[in-house]
Amino acid sequence: MSYRVLVVSSDETALDGALHVLNRAGFDAKGAATFQAASRAMSVETPDLLIADERLGAFNGLHLVVRGRAASPRMRAIVTSNAIDTVLESDARQLNAVCFARPADPREWLGRVWRSLEAPALLSA
């Protein structure tokens, strides 16, 4: 079974790069460029892992975590940002999500994805 991953980023280059790395690693990765497109995708199929940028127009990646967890409390989540943000990290922890600044090295990024998926599953709400 391959993990279903939804990557959400308004940065087309970052989105394409993430999808390329994930699909080459054997994931079933799909992308969305907006909060609205990601919400629609999650209403069709909840991913095993959501990777969302901090900034998504009027919304942010944490809003998507809340939406995804409403449908699937065991969904893993990563919120990414351009720089370390302690407030965002704290908010993410409260939602049992991982938050990190985007690493430049794709191998490091992929390692973080695997660690997120291998972490103990969330308890049902």
Bridge partners, 81 (sequence order):
101
Would you tell me the crossing angle of helices 86-94 and 61-71 to the nearest 10 degrees? 10
Q: Which domain holds residue 71?
A: 4-118
Compute the distance between CA of residue 44 and CA of residue 124 in angstroms, rounded to an integer: 20
Locate tokens 């409403």: which residue? 70
Q: Is the pLDDT of residue 73 over 80?
A: yes
Locate tokens 């975590």: which residue? 65
Mean pLDDT of the chain: 89
- The pLDDT score that the predictor gives to residue 122 is 52
Locate tokens 């919304």: which residue? 59
Would residue 39 count as lying in a domain?
A: yes
Closest CA to 50 of 92, 10, 93, 6: 6
Question: Model's pTM, two decimal places?
Answer: 0.90
Higher pLDDT, 90 or 106: 90
Would residue 68 count as lying in a domain?
A: yes
Cα separation values, 103 from 42, 55, 60, 120, Å: 26, 17, 19, 24
Q: Is the pLDDT of residue 68 over 60?
A: yes
Q: Per-residue confidence at 102, pLDDT binned at 50, 70, 90?
A: confident
Residue pair 64/38 in contact (Cβ under 8 Å)? The answer is yes
Count of structural domains within the chain: 1
Would residue 124 count as lying in a domain?
A: no
86: alpha, beta or left? (left if phi > 0; alpha if psi -120 to 50): alpha
Higher pLDDT, 85 or 63: 63
**CA 29-120-76 angle, 5° bins:** 30
CATH number, domain at 89? 3.40.50.2300
